[in-house]
Structure 1
Amino acid sequence: MTHPTPNLEALLPSGIRSRLIPDINGLTMHVLEAGFESEGRPVIVLLHGFPELAFSWRRVMPALAAAGFHVIAPDQRGYGRTTGSDNRYDVELRPFGALNLVRDVLGLLAALGIKSVATVVGHDFGSMVAAYCALLRPDVFRSVVLMSAPFGGPPALPFDTLRQGPAAPAPDISAALGALDPPRKHYQVYYSGREADGDMHGAPQGVHDFLRAYYYFKSADWRGNTPYRLESWTAGELAKLPTYYVMNAGEGMAETVAHHMPSREEIAACRWLPDTELAVYSAEYQRTGFQGGLNWYRCRYVPELNNELQIFSGRTIDVPSCFIAGASDWGIHQRPHDFERMQTTACTAMQACHLINGAGHWVQQEQSQAVAKLLTEFAAANSGKS
């Protein structure tokens, strides 16, 4: 089935504009904005995850603007209409590392003449960027909302090794998953491999149907999403995760999600992502491929990029924070104990954790009104607007 090329501007709610901002850390950044008509409004920055776009925030932006905020949502490095990054596989990965992604956000604010942000919000992989924004520059990012992906803190330096000896090597999770019956593999390892982009960009079912199945499989619409706490970072525990996180070893992601393609009736009933809006994502990813976003995952497996984050070992997020996720989102628990560490250690001013019924991983789309209300209340309370 073919889908007409969508007109992004025609699909945006009233009051949201799309524009390109040049000269940002080597990028020309595509942003969506709402509440831009009046100067001096407190700013909210919205950072998307994978495989999404700034468009993911379309349903919450009008409510935030109506509450008196200037709302800015960029296509981040490697995504959508933002250009200037080398999104191939065979590239230097440092530009896609956490520190440079924070610099991208700072550069966007500088270009717009904005010195501080009332709230930075990140969803999925954008949650990591938002967390490091708040951890590294609390003077700029005055509060933070993490969505769907808990932040357990920066990587720790081995401690007291002079007396206790070298730290034990981390378990080889990939080998342990591969030794299971049937063998499994972690999706982030798969995303870091050369084959992932071709598998998804060249999906036999087409990019549109691939994304339809991917979004459905991770949403509350798929009834198999009934998450619970995992006990440890071990193969046996991780194997309890759905196959979009811990995949069957012999399958790529396109084949994995094809097993869970919703029916025509289910697609027609999907109000949070009708086909006309899904076509915005599929048209962009058909044009760009997925490698730009996949390069973010690859950074996790570059020792020097992880090691430089150990500079911040033990540092906490001390600005006001909260967490929002769908109650049906396995992402809350995919890294065992991060959800608990976020609330007890990593974020010292955590005000609330909200798990929203009727939503899976795509919470700001699946339950946009509930998310908009929570974001408005949190940002207002922490910006002096309440």
Structure 2
Amino acid sequence: MHLAEQGSGPLILLCHGFPETSYSWRSQMGALAAAGFKAVAPDMRGYGKTDSPQAIEAFSMEQLVADMVGLLDVLGVADALIVGNDWGANVAWQAALRYPQRFRGVIALGVPMMKRSPMPPTTFFPRTEGLELYALYFQNVGPAEREFSANVAETLLKIMYAASGEAGPRRESDGTPNPFGMVNKTQGLLAALPVPESLPSWMTQNDIDVLAREFERSGFRGGLNYYRNLDRNWEQEAEYSDAVVAVPALYLVGERDTGLSIPGMADIIASMTAQVPYLRGTHVIPGCGHWLPQERPEILSTMIIDFANELEGKST
């Protein structure tokens, strides 16, 4: 496992999502270190310079959480505040749920803690004759890998821009022909996504180049395998169906996060305290999209530091 690390003090573990790497936390590392914390951002399993096992089942949530626990062991620390964005938020929630003695607090970005569904996720994801939710498109090995690898830099730019605040406001699906997140089965995911006339204000050409080099090396299979374990994760989560996140928590979401376009998401977020009784706040960040660590780095760094100081009993 490859790590970016900076500073010394209580550990703050930063978990990225798809399609990202530890580089996505570049703006938080120095700020957290300056505030007296040790910031550690791993390339998650299958990403960047971290190993990418061949077996799909090697990317189950059980394995991803075990990676985080094992990382604490290797670093020689008893516990940590865990922070995650996108898939990293899923990992952070489950780590705090399953190992509250190791993760003293959790900050989740974009993805709320959700109650286990009554049936496997892929059985109720939306699909029509010509369209299917992106997570269904990712289930078959090969098509998404080939599409994304054809022009890695353009793939990353399209996805990053489409899910950013600069792409515009979000709303719940209203029956339009191709709402965000639905993939044309014959054209693929990228065809419907625009190439912006200029880079998003929060991203430089160097940022795109760094990220592209990482995915040209690793490919996309590892990250896509997270989605291929959705039903396996659902099966494994049965033993935790009555458990709650028993540590202090914070939830942040961009006002223009693509997830807010999912029908019922507002209700899920509003009812989160049933699964997260020690939730210390839900914050909607104006104008921000799905990439909060990069789109609003100063705001996020301040909120992480304030929350971490509270956990440590420090005044801010």
Q: Same fold (TM over 0.5)?
A: yes
Aligned to 1:126: 88
Instruction: Report the alpha carbon displacement of residue 246 of structure 1 after superposing the two structures with TM.
Output: 1.7
Aligned to 1:32: 4
Aligned to 2:292: 363
Q: Partners of 2:177 and 2:40 in 1: how far apart?
A: 34
Q: Is the 8 A contact 2:122 2:230 kept in 1?
A: no
Q: Partners of 2:114 and 2:158 in 1: how far apart?
A: 29
Aligned to 2:204: 274
Structure of greater Rg:
1
Instruction: Report the alpha carbon displacement of residue 340 of structure 1 after superposing the two structures with TM.
Output: 2.6
Deviations 1:52-99 (A, max 9, x none): 00100001121111111111100010000002x324xxx3x3321111
Q: Is the 8 A contact 2:249 2:278 kept in 1?
A: yes
**TM-score normalised over the length of structure 1:** 0.76
Aligned to 2:161: 216
Instruction: Report the alpha carbon displacement of residue 220 of structure 1 after superposing the two structures with TM.
Output: 1.0
**TM-aligned CA distance change 1:155 to 1:378, over 3 Å:** same
**TM-aligned CA distance change 1:346 to 1:272, over 3 Å:** same
2:195 to 261, 264, 280: 261
Q: Partners of 1:62 and 1:381 in 2: how far apart?
A: 20
1:99 to 56, 59, 62: 62
Residues 1:321 and 2:257 are matched in the alignment? no
**TM-score normalised over the length of structure 2:** 0.92
Structure 2: gaps spanning 5 or more residues:
none
Amino acid at match of 1:55: Y
Please list, as runs of the form range in 1=range in 2, the aligned pairs for 1:1-386 lying within 5 A after superposition.
29-36=1-8, 41-83=9-51, 85-87=52-54, 91=55, 93-117=56-80, 119-155=81-117, 172-173=123-124, 177-179=127-129, 183-194=130-141, 195-202=143-150, 206-223=151-168, 226-228=169-171, 230=172, 237=173, 243-257=179-193, 260-263=194-197, 266-267=198-199, 270-302=200-232, 305-334=233-262, 336=264, 337-342=267-272, 344-386=273-315
Q: Partners of 1:55 and 1:61 in 2: how far apart?
A: 10
Q: Partners of 1:146 and 1:238 in 2: how far apart?
A: 27
Deviations 1:291-326 (A, max 9, x none): 001001000134xx4212110012111211011121
Q: Is the 8 A contact 1:148 1:329 kept in 2?
A: yes
Q: Partners of 2:187 and 2:275 in 1: how far apart?
A: 35
Q: Partners of 2:212 and 2:103 in 1: how far apart?
A: 32
Aligned residues: 312
Instruction: Report the alpha carbon displacement of residue 243 of structure 1 after superposing the two structures with TM.
Output: 4.8
Q: Partners of 1:82 and 1:238 in 2: how far apart?
A: 40
Deviations 1:250-294 (A, max 9, x none): 32123232xx1101xx22xx3411011111111111121100010
**TM-aligned CA distance change 1:104 to 1:239, over 3 Å:** farther
Amino acid at match of 2:64: L
**TM-aligned CA distance change 1:250 to 1:72, over 3 Å:** same
**TM-aligned CA distance change 1:256 to 1:286, over 3 Å:** farther
**TM-aligned CA distance change 1:196 to 1:215, over 3 Å:** same
Q: Partners of 1:272 and 1:364 in 2: how far apart?
A: 10
Q: Partners of 1:371 and 1:333 in 2: how far apart?
A: 22
Instruction: Report the alpha carbon displacement of residue 242 of structure 1 after superposing the two structures with TM.
Output: 6.9
Instruction: Report the alpha carbon displacement of residue 112 of structure 1 after superposing the two structures with TM.
Output: 1.0
Give the SS at the match of 1:60: helix
Aligned-residue identity in percent: 31
Q: Is the 8 A contact 2:248 2:279 kept in 1?
A: yes
RMSD: 2.2
**TM-aligned CA distance change 1:385 to 1:102, over 3 Å:** same
Q: Is the 8 A contact 2:83 2:92 kept in 1?
A: yes
Give the SS at the match of 2:40: strand
Structure 1: gaps spanning 5 or more residues:
1-28, 159-168, 231-236
Point out the more displaced range, 184-193 or 121-130.
Answer: 184-193
Amino acid at match of 1:360: G
Q: Is the 8 A contact 1:327 1:358 kept in 2?
A: yes
